[in-house]
Amino acid sequence: MTGSARSRAGVRRGALLAVMLLPGAGDTLAGGGRVELTVTQPTVELEVPSEVRLGDTVEVTLRLRNEGTEALSLELVGRPVAFDVFITGPGGREVWRRLHGKAVASALMLLQLGPGESREFTARWPQQDSQGRPVPPGRYTVQGTLPTGSRPLTSAPRDLLIAS
């Protein structure tokens, strides 16, 4: 991707769970046996330019992708989906948050993703802090999160340079 950074979150892509069925321990396979169950987790990618000019609106895309071989159902919070993007400045101080001061509906939305499918959520940051003041040039960190019914899915942080 030209001029942009892309990252995969630290969310597990898939985990393999092996269950041993032992004779005499409830239902078993004839002579004992092994059953393997694959649990698929989505990946969360963040796409943001690596550098922008001072005053330009910054487009941030949070992409939820099912890289497994099975369909995936997720309960997402809010209607519309309450994904969040947050920007931190030098020293890790939060500068801007997409949902700052906004009420989020507690409704859950069921999202189905087939194998290889993805869903994108886009936010635009006007290079202002949460109080509406313009931010100065410098290095910032961008991160995205997507709340689900069980736990939030969070992207890896990406660096953003605002050049004067």
The answer to whether 50 and 60 have CB atoms below 8 angstroms apart is no
Does 80 sit behind a cis peptide bond, omega within 30 degrees of 0 on the bond before it? yes
Opening angle at CA 88, ends 84 and 93, nearest 5: 120
Q: What is the pLDDT of residues 68-116, one digit of tens each?
A: 999 999 888 876 777 899 999 988 999 999 988 776 666 677 889 999 9
- Domain residue extents for the chain: 4-9+42-163
Q: 164: how many CB neighbours lie within 10 A of its CB?
A: 8
pTM reported for the whole predicted model: 0.72
Question: What is the architecture, at CATH level 2, of domain 4-9+42-163?
Answer: Sandwich (2.60)
Mean pLDDT by groups of 10 residues along the chain of 164 residues: 41 34 45 55 93 98 94 82 90 92 71 93 96 96 90 94 96
